[in-house]
Structure 1
Amino acid sequence: MLTSSIHRFSDAAQGGYPHAANSSAANLTDKTLPKEKWESIKLVAPADLRAEEATDKKPDGIYAWMVIFACFISLMLSIGINDAYGVYQQHYQLNEFPNETATLVSWIGTVQFLIMCIGGVFSGFLCEHFDTRLLNAVGAVIMGASFIGGSFCKSIGGLMATQGFLYGLGASFPFVAGTSIPSQWFTVRRGLATGIALSGSGIGGMWMTSATQALIESLGRPWAMRVTGIVSMTAVLAISPWMRVRLVPSKSERIIDWSLLKDIRFSMFFAAVVFAVAAYFGPFYQIPSYSVVVLHKSEGWGSNMDTLMNGLSVLGRLVVGFMADMVGPLNLLIANTLLAVTSLLVLWVPFESVATLFAVDILFGFAIGGIVSVIPVVAAEVFGLARLPSIIGLLFIGYFIGGLLGVPPMSALLDNVGHRTDYTSSIWYMAMLPVCSLVFLVVMRSLITKRLLIKL
């Protein structure tokens, strides 16, 4: 049975709004529709927009908030653990593998994220064909097993296989489900609900960073990983019964809907996401060691900077999620990307001090939290709900590319240009990534409308 909201959306796609199958979506301009209709326009991409209900539970109700809580916990563990890798990076680089390059050590966390993204592509497809609750539970078991197995590894290769590859594979299920499900369960407070769900990743990164540092100092790295594996597996298993989609497409044979890329606006959005994700992990990975090497602070002080940045990212997710329903998700995505540019290019590049690093932590943490929170909302509002898991899966390819463009080149610059002591070239590279993202977002918005003061 089709919901009335999906009926209205499909009717709009076929009648009230330009449908990509009949006319080029890329040719849409301000002249196409009366000005008063701009606030409600949906930019329909060439994908199957009809969907069927996967459950009799209704949106916007108590059950919907239970789903949000489950997504919150899933992202708190899956992304939170990945965000806390900066502590392991610092520990490996300064203690366990002091003779290895920062580039090689960073590949453990990079592989973790890249496999999470590639796994996310297939997870999006699987979420449209199988019970997401079961997929989430399977992911939880793999997540836990990866860290427990990694606790017995004493080589970078072994850690790359367990903490990197295996964990990324397991975390891809709660990652894609927790990111794409929230928008399906809300029609009124979609931005706020999505922001709350995605704030779990920031909160997870915040407390996981501090907890990981404390566990390593008190129990050692092997037991820190065992505790992390047991906790993550137990918690994600416990909330898996509520990790369910509300809508599934009536027809979906493709793992990746490449037809979306025919829309020039989606191509711009895709490119912007690539550079935004490339910018994401650099500060989280490098600020802890930067604090020790450049500012001569303790390892604990450096990990606390990551904790602070994660805390501000939580605030950014919540604030942007709340405001997205009022001023438009794309507008906020552009504003937060501009704030990220300011924090890195205007503050971190020219200044080298504790005060400046605090300012970078605060501004970048808030900005990047808002960016990751509003990306799925933009995808839902602009390109439709029915195929959102597949759309998010396609964006995960962008995340994968962004992961390759982010930390590895930064670390290579630190090794080969900065000789592991001068972070200048690495910071310059980091700063230019959100600049590129901002350019693509501005182009995307200008293709939609030239009007500035409009909810979009």
Structure 2
Amino acid sequence: MPEGGYGWVIVASCSMIMFFTSGGTYSWGIMQARLAAESIAPNSTLAFIGSLCISFVAFGAILMSRLIRWMGARNAGFVSCFLIGAGQILSSVSVKNVGGLFVTNGIIVGLGTSMSFMLCSTLPSQYFKRKRGLANGAVFGASGIGGAVLSVAQNYLIDSLGVAWTFRIIGLSIWALTFPACYFLKDRLRRATATIEWSLFLDPRFVMLALGSAIGTFPLLVPPFFLPLYTDSLGLAASVGSILLAVFNVSSALGRISFGALCDVCGPITSLSLALIVGALSLLAIWPVSSSLAPLVVFTILNGFGNGGFFSTIPSVVAHMYGPIRVTTVFSMVLTGWAAGYLLGAPVAGWLLDAYGGSGAGIVAYRPAMYYAGSLTVGSAGFILGVRTLMTKRRLFTFA
């Protein structure tokens, strides 16, 4: 297997796509806060739009894997990026209609996000083995950078031009910058047809990985979706919320790259466990006492770092456990299990916030959502540490 060469072109192309794909998801909090300020819909409903979008990554995992195999990497890239850009542009005519936003930014953007995520998560593994973690980390790191840039850009554009024109400019930018990148995409290996390997459910390693990662998706979107609202509750300017969200995304990018590289040093399962532990500590020990800007910045950096590590290590964990040929099938099965967490994780936090008085009740109203997110992250880390234990025992048994 080659280590580099054209693989770095693939990494660069996938990075540009993920810049807008996951980056757009992680900057939704800016739109959510602005739309909530205009009383378009409650916080929990607006959070549900962002959650619906990213939940298509899970709902469509197996279907998108088959479509990518049928169309090829390049065509799949063009289709996915067209849908993401079109959904943003169409959202510009739905800024006063929450139902329209569910269709445009929830479903259309969600379908494109699902295809591009599956494509960019698995394609670099065809070109790398020893440096697979670094390659995946670079690709996922670009999504963190994208979230940071888009958060600041959207806040500026909304102030200057309004929400509708912000959607249009983001959509046109997606088409202009991702289409050239899609041209360079190509498969090195013939992808396995994504299906359901029922025998995997008899493998305790897979079961624990699937359960652990599924539980871990519930809290992932809570901080980026609610940080702008939380800063409003502290009495800080809206620009502070966008800057903190940008800091979160930059930290997430660094976490994706760092934990991706760490996979090549101490193993992907250990790296994933460490990322979850960092996330849990930030949610349970720092955010609940962040009543001023300084501790909130510390929380934002640490949680973004651990959050990014989760995403960049999962593809490497799957490839490490089941090999590059089976990675598409196994990864799509794992992703399918993320549907509930992606769809309900942030809305549940929104419902908890509303139940305890809403964003206008001060930071105390946020604490139930914080503890909900932190406890689930602890549970996720427990399952992944269980996978690590089973893998260690398996190696000992094999060498015995």
How far, CA to CA, are the matches of 1:357 and 1:121 in structure 2? 38
Which one of 216, 241, 245 corresponds to residue 302 of structure 1?
241
Q: CA deviation at 1:225?
A: 0.2
Larger radius of gyration between Structure 1 and Structure 2: 1
CA distance in 2 between counterparts of 1:127 and 1:363 reads 35
| Residue 221 in structure 1 maps to residue 167 in structure 2 | no
**Aligned Cα RMSD in Å?**
1.9
Change (3 A) 1:175 1:321: same
- Judge conservation of contact 1:119–1:168 (CA < 8 Å) in 2: no
Superposed CA deviations along residues 139-183 of structure 1, whole A, max 9, x for unmatched, are 111111111111011211001110111110122221111111111
Give 5+ residue unaligned stretches, structure 2.
396-400
Answering whether residue 370 of structure 2 is matched by residue 427 of structure 1, we say yes
| Cα distance per residue 1:311-340 (max 9 Å; x no partner) | 011111111122211111111111111111
Q: Which structure 1 residue ranges, 5 or more long, are not aligned?
A: 6-58
| Alignment partner of 1:355 is 2:294 | yes
Partner of 1:87: 30
Alignment of 1:125-144 (within 5 A): 125-144=66-85
Amino acid at match of 1:79: S
Alignment-mate amino acid for residue 112 of structure 1: C
Q: Which residue of 1 aligns with 2:398?
A: none
Deviations 1:408-435 (A, max 9, x none): 1111101112333321111111111211
TM-score (norm: length of structure 1): 0.82
* Partner Cα distance (2:60, 2:159) in 1: 32
Which residue identity does 2:109 align to in structure 1?
Y
Partner of 1:318: 257
d(CA) in 2 for partners of 1:409, 1:389: 30
Q: Which amino acid aligns with 2:328?
A: P
Q: Please give the alpha-carbon distance, in whole angstroms, between the structure 1 residues aligned to 2:323 and 2:209.
A: 14
Question: What amino acid does structure 1 have at the position aligned with 2:259?
Answer: V
| Distance across 2 between alignment mates of 1:357 and 1:302 | 11
Match of 2:6 among 58, 63, 71: 63
Give the deviation of 1:450 after TM superposition: 5.4
What amino acid is aligned across from residue 375 of structure 2 in structure 1? M
Q: Which amino acid aligns with 1:235?
A: L
Q: Distance in 2 between matches of 1:78 and 1:181?
A: 15
The TM-score, its normalising length taken from structure 2, stands at 0.93
Amino acid in the other structure paired with 2:38: N
Contact kept? 1:128, 1:389, Cα under 8 Å: no
Number of equivalenced pairs: 391
Does structure 1 retain, via aligned residues, the 8 Å contact 2:79–2:112? Answer: yes
- Is the 1:248–1:387 contact (alpha carbons within 8 Å) kept by the matching residues of 2? no
1:321 maps to a residue whose letter is G
Q: CA deviation at 1:451?
A: 10
How far did residue 96 of structure 1 move?
4.6
Deviation at 1:350, TM superposition (A): 4.0
The aligned counterpart of 2:154 is 212
2:54 corresponds to: 113
Q: Deviations over 1:26-85 (max 9, x none)?
A: xxxxxxxxxxxxxxxxxxxxxxxxxxxxxxxxx323211000101111111111011100
Q: 2:196 aligns with which of 256, 274, 291?
A: 256
- The aligned counterpart of 1:438 is 381
| Pick aligned residue for 1:267 from 190, 204, 207 | 207
Shift of 1:406: 1.0
**Identity over the aligned pairs, expressed in percent?**
31
Whole-angstrom distance in 1 between the partners of 2:301 and 2:149: 17
Aligned to 1:340: 279
Higher mean C-alpha displacement, 360-369 vs 403-412? 403-412
2:98 pairs with 1:156: yes
Match of 1:41 in 2: none
Distance in 2 of aligned mates of 1:245 and 1:432 = 40
The answer on whether the counterparts of 2:59 and 2:339 sit within 8 Å (CA) in structure 1 is yes
CA displacement, residues 326-370 of structure 1 (integer Å, 9 cap, x when unaligned): 111111111111111111111112443322211110111111111
2:310 is aligned, of 371, 374, 390, to: 371
* Equivalent of residue 186 in structure 1, options 116, 128, 148: 128
> What residue identity is the alignment partner of 1:378?
V
Residues 355 and 72 of structure 1, relative CA distance in 2, 3 Å threshold = same
Q: Is 1:417 matched with 2:356?
A: yes
Amino acid of the structure 2 residue aligned with 1:229: G
The 8 Å contact of residues 123 and 173 in structure 1, kept in 2 or not, is answered as yes
8 A Cα contact 2:87 2:105, kept in partner: yes
Matched residue, 1:202? 144
How far apart, in 1, do the equivalents of 2:57 and 2:390 lie?
A: 32
Change (3 A) 1:289 1:373: same
User: 1:405 and 1:158 mapped to 2: Cα distance?
Assistant: 20
1:8 corresponds in structure 2 to none
Structure 1 SS opposite 2:190: strand
Matched-pair contact (CA < 8 Å) for 2:48–2:343: no
Structure-1 separation of matches of 2:167 and 2:287: 32
**In structure 2, distance between residues paired with 1:217 and 1:255:** 47
Distance 2:196 2:179 in 1: 28
Separation in 1, partners of 2:209, 2:32: 31
Aligned-partner Cα distance in 2 for 1:342–1:451? 30
**Structure number with higher helix proportion:** 2
